[in-house]
Structure 1
Amino acid sequence: MKMNRGSFPIIGSIVVLLAIVILPSLLTAYGLSLLTQVLIFGLFAMSLDLLVGYTGLVSFNHASFFGVGAYTAAILVTRGVENFWLTLLGGVFISLLLAFLLGSLVLRSSGPYFLMITLAFGQMIFALAWRWRSLTGGDDGLSGVPRPNLGLPISMWDSQNFYYLVLVFFVLSSVVLWRIVRSKLGRVIIGVRESESRMQALGYNTWLIKYLSYAIAGGFAGLAGVLFVYFNGFISPQQLDWSMSGLVILMVIIGGSGTLVGPVIGAGSIFILQNLISAQTERWPMSMGIIFILCVMYLRDGVVGHTIKLSKKGLKNYERFRNNER
């Protein structure tokens, strides 16, 4: 039976989904913990990819939404709110609110000015979390966040159960983001990235399009933050720092921006390499830095983008070979 090319991405997605469903039963406790982190940061990186890869906005304050979502959930839990769904909605809502507020300010600039102003706002929020000790715990952070109680006869203290909870949110978020980038709104967002002046000439409010993209990305980053604080049981101002935004940008670049699946691969690559190299040498940051430089130099489209290019090239060569045979 002959399959068309469009069926391959669907088959690939099904295979990957089956793999991540089956993997927990094959991994050690440490491996399962690592895989859970990859899914959480994969969601975080996908939310940034909506800005970087699809809208063409490189933001250095994306960690603000991740950290604010995490802090909101942690504050609610430590203040006695035990309902997981309330803390989840609270974290996502506050992150969305912050994204709407900051978006109205930072999107008045563009290019390197946009990058610098997002960096400035990100560091302002980091400083606020650092100094507001009565609410955030200051540099000590907030600890003692227990695993969520879903009101079901299953315990989230079981690492495998919690992994599947994260997996459900990861898959649902992936589907929603995929639908967004494939929708009319997604095509307009890509059009703004390619040529904002042309989209303006066609009558589109490009500022509003970028504003919506910025807010949606902030909301999903907040969701990732809520899942992270329940996984980690602790949140500190470090998760709001510009270095966290830089790390997730690196995930997008290494995996391949504008692909959604690329940032997830980038997150997995960074976490796996970090754990493998740090187990062999104390100078693992230098080794990681060299690897990142090589990736940026020789894999400019990221792992996924480079793979797609090679696949297209191989397919063209195969079709040329078949035509010559005829």
Structure 2
Amino acid sequence: APAPAPEAAPAAPGRLGTWLRTAGWRQTAPLLVLLAVLCALPGVLDAYSISLAGSALALGLLAVSVTVLTGYAGLPTLGQTAPFAVGAYATANLADAGWTVGPVQLVLAALAAAVFSAVTGPAVIRARGTTVLMITLAIGELTSAVINQVKSVTGGADGLVGFPATQALWGGEGMTEERELYVYAVVVAAVAVALTLLVLRSPAGKLLTGTRGAEARMRASGHPVGRYLMVAHIGAGALAGVGGSLMVTVQQYLSPADVGFEIAAFALLAVVIGGATSVIGALLGAGLIVFTRDWVAGSWPGHGPLLLGVLFIAAVYLLPRGLAGLRAATGRPATPPSAAPPPGASPLTVSPAGKAAP
């Protein structure tokens, strides 16, 4: 009898249906929904609220950089405001020198922040757990001290103001209206977050989660763990630099308070609220913080810190796994199994290997 003919390959619609049922689509859908909401905000908010949304996106990029280090690399940090500040002051000085094109500012700010992270990285990646927090906190505080001393570059305690507005593209005019600044912020944040997610969901991201969860085993398998952590530290620093550049563009001024310890605490708080390994959760957490601090607190002057404290306590008790845990409650994994913390675990715990893990 003749051999049966080989089965034909499944049609493209079948492959599309399979892809729609995979975890990849479920992980991408929240980002698309968030992007759609952000694009719709200019039509429903006033100018002040739009400016707050732009600031929240800048803080959100800082929070995402903290997520990369804390949630994926297992290096809890309070010092990401240091490369954030490098990117911010680099952008302000570039604008003052006549370099006002947005893409140029972003690339140079990211490069400056990456170089800074490469210099400070060896001190950070050698430690684990609480020691990392102390080292990164020291780096952030030393950076703040330098900012207050180098007045010719940073303006000291007075900050920087009056530099030319950023141009979205070559040949355009400087952006001064809140809505056009917000659109610019949405585009920059979307590109930066998309690139971050591509890296984190690639084999490089799996290596980071493996390093965080089983460092001793990774070393025994011959993996250069120190190199992985160094690359993650530099990449997270570059992302924080982009966030700092975006903040300067949106605010059109810069002061030491914008890059101080309070902002570092807010970024880590956003990661805890959003879920230690959730990029989208970090963005939403940053939005909640800015909304509570600058919009809700406007109705109760002087009660901003109290409201933020209530927000944090409510998030810890009602959402022990952060906003990302809401998806897990519906039966959909919020994070890859290798990256998800055990049920009931705090965002920062110590693994059996002695390495801090979210």
TM-based fold match above 0.5: yes
1:248 — aligned with what? 267
1:290 — aligned with what? 310
> Displacement, 1:155?
5.2
Q: 2:48 aligned to 11, 30, 33, which one?
A: 30
TM-score (norm 1): 0.89
Q: Given that residues 66 and 239 in structure 1 are in contact (C-alpha distance below 8 angstroms), is that contact kept between their aligned partners in structure 2?
A: no
SS at match of 2:193: helix
Q: Given that residues 54 and 185 in structure 2 are in contact (C-alpha distance below 8 angstroms), is that contact kept between their aligned partners in structure 1?
A: yes
Q: Given that residues 61 and 122 in structure 1 are in contact (C-alpha distance below 8 angstroms), is that contact kept between their aligned partners in structure 2?
A: yes
1:47 — aligned with what? 65
CA distance in 2, matches of 1:145, 1:64: 22
| Number of aligned residues | 313
Given the alignment of the two structures, is residue 113 of structure 1 paired with residue 131 of structure 2, yes or no? yes
**Structure with the larger helix share:** 1
CA distance in 2, matches of 1:223, 1:212: 17
Given the alignment of the two structures, is residue 76 of structure 1 paired with residue 94 of structure 2, yes or no? yes
CA distance in 1, matches of 2:73, 2:126: 15
SS at match of 1:18: helix
CA distance in 2, matches of 1:138, 1:38: 25
Q: Given that residues 274 and 284 in structure 2 are in contact (C-alpha distance below 8 angstroms), is that contact kept between their aligned partners in structure 1?
A: yes
Q: 2:256 aligned to 228, 237, 248, which one?
A: 237
Alignment RMSD, CA only?
Answer: 2.1
CA distance in 1, matches of 2:271, 2:43: 29
SS at match of 1:303: coil
Given the alignment of the two structures, is residue 141 of structure 1 paired with residue 131 of structure 2, yes or no? no
Given the alignment of the two structures, is residue 268 of structure 1 paired with residue 279 of structure 2, yes or no? no
Gaps of 5+ in 2: 1-16, 333-358
Using a 3 Å threshold, how does the CA distance of structure 1 residues 11 and 298 change in structure 2: closer, same or farther? Answer: closer
CA distance in 2, matches of 1:87, 1:173: 14
1:286-325 alignment to 2 at 5 Å?
Answer: 286-305=306-325, 307-312=326-331
Q: Given that residues 155 and 161 in structure 1 are in contact (C-alpha distance below 8 angstroms), is that contact kept between their aligned partners in structure 2?
A: no
SS at match of 2:324: helix
Q: Given that residues 143 and 234 in structure 1 are in contact (C-alpha distance below 8 angstroms), is that contact kept between their aligned partners in structure 2?
A: yes
Moved more, 79-88 or 180-189: 79-88
Using a 3 Å threshold, how does the CA distance of structure 1 residues 240 and 23 change in structure 2: closer, same or farther? Answer: closer
Q: 1:125 aligned to 129, 136, 143, which one?
A: 143
Given the alignment of the two structures, is residue 191 of structure 1 paired with residue 224 of structure 2, yes or no? no
Given the alignment of the two structures, is residue 182 of structure 1 paired with residue 191 of structure 2, yes or no? no
> Displacement, 1:257?
1.5
2:21 — aligned with what? 4
Given the alignment of the two structures, is residue 151 of structure 1 paired with residue 170 of structure 2, yes or no? yes
Q: 2:243 aligned to 224, 247, 261, which one?
A: 224
Once the two structures are superposed, what CA deviation does each residue of 1:264-312 show, in whole Å capped at 9, x if it has no partner? 110111111223431332323213212212322342211122x023211
Q: Given that residues 145 and 229 in structure 1 are in contact (C-alpha distance below 8 angstroms), is that contact kept between their aligned partners in structure 2?
A: no
CA distance in 2, matches of 1:300, 1:204: 33
> Displacement, 1:74?
0.9
Gaps of 5+ in 1: 314-326
Q: Given that residues 91 and 223 in structure 1 are in contact (C-alpha distance below 8 angstroms), is that contact kept between their aligned partners in structure 2?
A: yes
Given the alignment of the two structures, is residue 214 of structure 1 paired with residue 233 of structure 2, yes or no? yes
CA distance in 2, matches of 1:214, 1:248: 16
> Displacement, 1:152?
4.3
Given the alignment of the two structures, is residue 170 of structure 1 paired with residue 189 of structure 2, yes or no? yes
Q: Given that residues 125 and 240 in structure 1 are in contact (C-alpha distance below 8 angstroms), is that contact kept between their aligned partners in structure 2?
A: no
Q: Given that residues 89 and 154 in structure 2 are in contact (C-alpha distance below 8 angstroms), is that contact kept between their aligned partners in structure 1?
A: yes
Paired-residue identity, %: 29
CA distance in 1, matches of 2:128, 2:154: 32
Using a 3 Å threshold, how does the CA distance of structure 1 residues 299 and 11 change in structure 2: closer, same or farther? Answer: closer
What amino acid is aligned across from residue 166 of structure 1 in structure 2? A
Once the two structures are superposed, what CA deviation does each residue of 1:178-205 show, in whole Å capped at 9, x if it has no partner? 1111111100000011111111111111
CA distance in 1, matches of 2:33, 2:214: 36
Using a 3 Å threshold, how does the CA distance of structure 1 residues 148 and 265 change in structure 2: closer, same or farther? Answer: same
1:318 — aligned with what? none
CA distance in 2, matches of 1:106, 1:16: 33
CA distance in 2, matches of 1:134, 1:10: 45
Once the two structures are superposed, what CA deviation does each residue of 1:25-61 show, in whole Å capped at 9, x if it has no partner? 2221122112212222112211111011111111111
SS at match of 1:145: coil
What amino acid is aligned across from residue 181 of structure 1 in structure 2? L
TM-score (norm 2): 0.82
CA distance in 2, matches of 1:9, 1:258: 12
Using a 3 Å threshold, how does the CA distance of structure 1 residues 280 and 165 change in structure 2: closer, same or farther? Answer: closer
1:322 — aligned with what? none
Once the two structures are superposed, what CA deviation does each residue of 1:97-148 show, in whole Å capped at 9, x if it has no partner? 0000000222222222221111112111110110111221111111113321
Q: Given that residues 65 and 218 in structure 1 are in contact (C-alpha distance below 8 angstroms), is that contact kept between their aligned partners in structure 2?
A: yes
